[in-house]
C-alpha cells in the first residue's frame, strides 16, 4: 500500500463513522437491557433504534468496502 492510500482521508472518515455507529449500537443495547420488563413502549422504541443503527452499520461497511476496492486502500 502506498503512502497516499495508507493515509486516505475518505477511508478514515468511513472507518470513524463505522466506529461511531458501533458505539451507538452498544449504548442502545445497554439501554435495551435496562428496559427489559420495564415498559413495552420504551423497549420497542429503543429496539427500533437498534434496528436502524444496524442498517446504518451495514451501509457504512458496504461504503468502506466499495471505497477500499476502488481506491486500493
Number of structural domains in the chain? 1
Domain-embedded: residue 29: yes
Domain-embedded: residue 1: no
Domain-embedded: residue 28: yes
Residue 9's SS3 state is helix
Domain-embedded: residue 37: yes
Taking only the tens of pLDDT, the chain with its 73 residues reads 555 556 899 999 999 999 999 999 999 999 999 998 888 899 999 999 999 999 999 999 999 999 999 988 8
Within 8 A by CB and 6+ apart from 63, the residues are: 14
Domain-embedded: residue 21: yes
Owning domain of residue 22: 6-71
Domain-embedded: residue 15: yes
Report the predicted TM-score, pTM, of the whole model to 2 decimal places. Answer: 0.81
Amino acid at each position: 500500500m502506498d503512502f497516499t492510500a495508507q493515509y486516505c482521508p475518505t477511508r478514515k472518515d468511513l472507518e470513524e463513522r463505522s466506529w461511531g455507529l458501533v458505539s451507538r449500537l452498544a449504548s442502545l443495547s445497554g439501554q435495551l437491557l435496562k428496559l427489559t420488563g420495564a415498559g413495552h413502549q420504551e423497549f420497542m422504541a429503543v429496539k427500533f433504534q437498534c434496528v436502524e443503527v444496524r442498517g446504518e452499520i451495514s451501509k457504512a461497511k458496504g461504503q468502506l468496502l466499495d471505497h477500499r476496492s476502488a481506491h486500493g486502500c
